[in-house]
């Protein structure tokens, strides 16, 4: 059965108990790895929060075009660097 967006609905009964446990462990491991990565790259939070702030303030009609322009801005790197320096002053 196909769900919204063309994705197949998952049937939890299809997995054996062993497969469910492996999947659970995989999810836990992935979350831990993601958390470690995000903690070691604080610029990700700044990138995302700046983008979301701009989206909500400007409410662009074409979000894909807006994102393309936002993330290809030649000043983006220096903007993020200056914000990171500002954040380190409060630590």
Confidence of residue 86 (pLDDT cuts 50, 70, 90): confident
- For residues 80 and 42, the answer to whether their CB atoms sit within 8 Å is no
Least confident of 1-5, 15-19, 26-30: 1-5
58: in domain? yes
pTM for the predicted model, two decimal places: 0.63
34: in domain? yes
Q: What share of the chain is helix, strand, coil (3-state, %, to 5)?
A: 75, 0, 25
Q: Which domain holds residue 34?
A: 23-88
In the predicted model, what is the mean pLDDT of residues 15-41?
A: 95
2: in domain? no
- Note the pLDDT tens digit of each residue in 54-83: 999 999 999 999 999 999 999 999 999 999
Cβ-based burial of 33 (10 A; exposed 0-12, middle 13-18, buried ≥19): exposed
Query: Number of C-alpha atoms within 13 angstroms, CB side, residue 47?
Result: 14
Widest Cα–Cα separation across the chain = 53
17: in domain? no
48: in domain? yes
Least confident of 23-27, 40-44, 82-86: 82-86
Total number of domains constituting the chain: 1
């Amino acid at each position: 059965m196909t769900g919204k967006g063309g994705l197949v609905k998952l049937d939890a009964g299809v997995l054996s108990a062993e497969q469910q446990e492996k999947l659970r462990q995989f999810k836990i491991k992935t979350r831990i790895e993601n958390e470690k990565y995000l903690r070691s790259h604080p610029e990700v939070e700044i990138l995302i929060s700046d983008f979301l702030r701009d989206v909500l303030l400007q409410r662009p009609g074409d979000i894909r075009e807006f994102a393309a322009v936002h993330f290809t801005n030649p000043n983006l790197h220096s903007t993020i660097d200056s914000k990171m320096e500002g954040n380190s002053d409060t630590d």
